[in-house]
Amino acid sequence: MDGVLLDHLDGFVTTRRGVEAWLEQPTSFNKPSILLVAADGESTRRAIPSIAFGHDFASRHDIPAYDAGVVPYPQRMREYGARNKRISG
């Protein structure tokens, strides 16, 4: 397992509050991925080895995991992006 990947995901979960995970199924173009979203809407997305890896990661950190094809991404994530765009733009 890629230590850099785990370090990044672990670091995000342990330094932010209210993190939830969205697991994105693989497509013919993309590997499976995990989208972590904090309570304030900050997010990070990374390719993962498998959807099972994503479920195991969420379980180890006691955070909810959703199927991105079923549960929509949270509004707070879009609001966070819009706030940061206004500040930097």
Q: pLDDT of 31-77, one tens digit each?
A: 999 999 999 999 999 999 999 999 999 999 999 999 999 999 999 99
Q: pLDDT of 2-23, one tens digit each?
A: 799 999 999 999 999 999 999 9
Q: How far apart are CA 19 and CA 2, in angstroms?
A: 21
Q: How far apart are CA 61 and CA 19, in angstroms?
A: 10
Q: How far apart are CA 88 and CA 7, in angstroms?
A: 28
Residue 88 has pLDDT above 80, yes or no: no
**Domain spans, the chain:** 3-88
What are 29's two structure tokens?
Answer: 């173009």
Other beta carbons within 10 angstroms of residue 24's beta carbon come to: 19
